[in-house]
């Protein structure tokens, strides 16, 4: 019997079990849960590039907690919660687990985040509706209670399942994961109104927005780019740039742009002079290095079940880029540039922001960006799922820390609930003032 024949029955059994859970309502067998968990642990162990941000964590301890959390779970939601609780502790926006079957009908028709109640009370954060498709829930409405619990207490419970590189980014993106919440939310608003909202019939509040727009309604043109998820979005942005006087002041609005593909052509278009790019590193794993790490314990007779594998924080990092320069464009956009950013500006968007910030090419207004970019490793441990583990750590060109820090605005301008209620955009107003 050759090796292929000998292993075929085992492979057939695994594939049969995987096929059986393609039905989202099917329970996940115990052996398959642990198989998928092992794949996830292995991906983190070999690919994760950000242990510097969580130096006190040990992956072996995290994994043991993860396995305990899996006990008693049988459905997809239970598996996702246990998995995300594990991955969220790594504090990296590009390291997370998604179950696409749970994303269907997961919107409540509105998006809210904690904001200062007003500019005069910056520390008084209230959960505020920022976008809504519901006729009886308006932008600027303040949520006081959810399901008879204080709004902060209710939402804080679910933040443990959200991967992000900064605490502010956790609460910003929480409501994009509506499947975490009960199917119905009973809201009590600050004005006393009570609303009963179901997630099954609501439309996502952000899908109606165009991904790229050129707004000429103000004193200066504003190029709004809400995503780089498709190459055509960058091409649309470049086409809009060609419609503007090449030396005219421009407001580049990248608020809420969660990234996609690095906009290399757009980045170069704004380069009037050669510009330094980010430093990038990735884990370097070699079998011999792992052996040498564990060898002293073996030689000293200390190797036992209590001798945990060396922390993966000690994994050597390979330098991918150092001191690379983005050449100046032959036909650059020369106008004065003000960039609007917020905590939703993330990933590939920050690949554009970093050189603009470091070179002094642009002035930044708004909130600090998300502080997370990098190339994830992708895998599908179970049918209908997607695992992401960040394999690349980015730093500023001078070597200073970017991950978990992000781009700091030159002019911090927080958005408040009062601004939304009055229809004001304080960051845009400030940008217009700076260009004037």
The string of pLDDT tens digits covering residues 318-355 is 999 887 898 999 999 999 999 999 999 999 999 999 99
On whether residue 281 sits in a domain, the answer given is no
Residue 150 confidence (pLDDT) above 70 = yes
The answer on pLDDT for 4 being more than 90 is no
pTM of the model: 0.92
Q: Is residue 138 part of a domain?
A: yes
The pLDDT assigned to 161 comes to 98
Copy the structure tokens of residue 435: 């260009």
Q: Which of 152, 168, 198 is the last residue of a domain?
A: 198
Residues 161 and 243 in one domain: no
Q: Which of 82-86, 322-326, 342-346, 411-415 has the lowest mean pLDDT?
A: 322-326
- Same domain for 184 and 332, yes or no, is no
pLDDT grade, residue 26 (50/70/90)?
very high
219 with 170, same domain: the answer is no
Q: How far apart are CA 416 and CA 420, in angstroms?
A: 7
DSSP code string of 163-220:
--SSHHHHHHHGGG-GGGS-SEEEEEETTS-EEEEESSSPPPTTTTS-SEEEE-SSSS
Percent of the chain with pLDDT over 70: 94
Spatial contact of 367 and 246, defined as CB atoms under 8 Å apart: no
Lowest mean pLDDT among 20-29, 125-134, 279-288: 279-288
367 and 418 within one domain: yes
- Whether 70 maps to a domain, the answer reads no
The answer to whether position 425 is within a domain reads yes
Does 9 have pLDDT greater than 60? no
> How many of the other CB atoms lie within 10 Å of CB of 186?
14
Least confident of 36-50, 236-250, 281-295, 414-428: 281-295
Report pLDDT for 308.
64
- Show the domain range for 261: 212-273+328-371+406-435
Check whether 221 has a pLDDT greater than 80.
yes
Query: Residue 190 is part of a domain; what is its CATH number?
Result: 2.30.42
Q: In the prediction, which pLDDT does 207 show?
A: 62
Closest Cα partner for 34 from 9, 12, 63, 57? 63
Burial of 123 (0-12, 13-18, 19+ CB in 10 A): exposed
336 in any annotated domain = yes
Is residue 231 a part of any domain in this protein? yes
Burial readout 325-345 (b: 16 or more C-beta within 10 A, e: otherwise): ebeebeeebebebbbbbbbbb
Residue 1: per-residue pLDDT: 44
Residue 290, pLDDT above cutoff 80: no
- Are the CB atoms for 404 and 372 separated by under 8 Å? yes
Quick one: pLDDT at residue 313?
A: 63
**pLDDT, position 209:** 76
Look at residue 232 and tell me if it is in a domain.
yes
DSSP category for residue 161: G
- Whether residue 228 has pLDDT greater than 60: yes
Q: What are the tens digits of pLDDT across the range 93-121?
A: 999 999 999 988 789 999 999 999 999 99
pLDDT at 28 > cutoff 90 = yes
Strand partners, 394: 280
What is residue 164's predicted lDDT score, i.e. its pLDDT?
97
Determine the pLDDT at residue 134: 92
Q: Are residues 141 and 235 in the same domain?
A: no
Q: What is the pLDDT of residue 323?
A: 76
Domain count for the chain:
2
Asked if residue 358 belongs to a domain, the reply is yes
């Amino acid at each position: 019997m050759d090796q292929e024949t000998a292993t075929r029955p085992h492979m057939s059994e695994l594939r049969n079990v995987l096929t059986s859970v393609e039905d989202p309502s099917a329970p996940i067998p115990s052996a398959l849960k642990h198989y998928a968990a092992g794949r996830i642990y292995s991906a983190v162990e070999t690919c994760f590039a950000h242990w510097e941000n969580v130096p006190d964590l040990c992956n072996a301890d995290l994994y043991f907690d993860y396995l305990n959390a899996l006990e008693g779970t049988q459905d997809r939601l239970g598996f996702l919660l246990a998995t995300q609780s594990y991955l969220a502790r790594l504090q990296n926006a590009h390291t997370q687990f998604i179950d696409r079957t749970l994303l269907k009908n997961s919107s409540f028709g509105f998006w809210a985040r904690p904001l200062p109640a007003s500019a005069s009370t910056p520390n008084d954060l209230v959960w505020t509706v920022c976008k809504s498709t519901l006729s009886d829930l308006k932008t600027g409405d303040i949520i006081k209670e959810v399901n008879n619990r204080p709004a902060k207490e209710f939402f804080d419970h679910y933040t443990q399942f959200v991967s992000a590189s900064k605490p502010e980014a956790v609460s910003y993106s929480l409501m994009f994961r509506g499947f975490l919440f009960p199917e119905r939310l009973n809201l009590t608003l600050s004005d006393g109104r009570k609303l009963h909202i179901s997630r099954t019939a609501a439309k996502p509040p952000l899908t109606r927005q165009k991904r790229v727009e050129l707004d000429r309604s103000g004193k200066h043109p504003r190029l709004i780019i809400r995503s780089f998820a498709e190459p055509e979005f960058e091409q649309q942005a470049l086409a809009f740039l060609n419609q503007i006087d090449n030396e005219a002041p421009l407001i580049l609005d990248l608020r809420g742009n969660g990234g996609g593909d690095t906009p290399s052509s757009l980045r170069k278009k704004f380069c009037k002079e050669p510009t330094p790019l980010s430093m990038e590193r990735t884990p370097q794993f070699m079998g011999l290095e792992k052996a040498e790490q564990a060898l002293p314990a073996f030689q000293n007779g200390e190797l036992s079940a209590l001798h945990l594998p060396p922390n993966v924080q000690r994994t050597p990092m390979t330098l991918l880029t150092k001191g690379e320069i983005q050449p100046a464009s032959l036909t650059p956009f020369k106008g004065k540039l003000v960039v609007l950013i917020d905590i939703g500006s993330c990933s590939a968007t920050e690949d554009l922001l970093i050189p603009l910030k470091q070179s002094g090419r642009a002035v930044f207004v708004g909130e600090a960006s998300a502080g997370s970019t990098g190339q994830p490793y992708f895998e599908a441990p179970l049918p209908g799922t997607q695992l992401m583990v960040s394999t690349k750590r980015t730093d500023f060109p001078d070597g200073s820390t970017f991950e978990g820090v992000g781009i700091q605005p030159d002019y911090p301008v927080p958005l408040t609930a009062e601004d939304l209620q009055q229809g004001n955009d304080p960051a845009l107003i400030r940008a217009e003032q700076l260009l004037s």
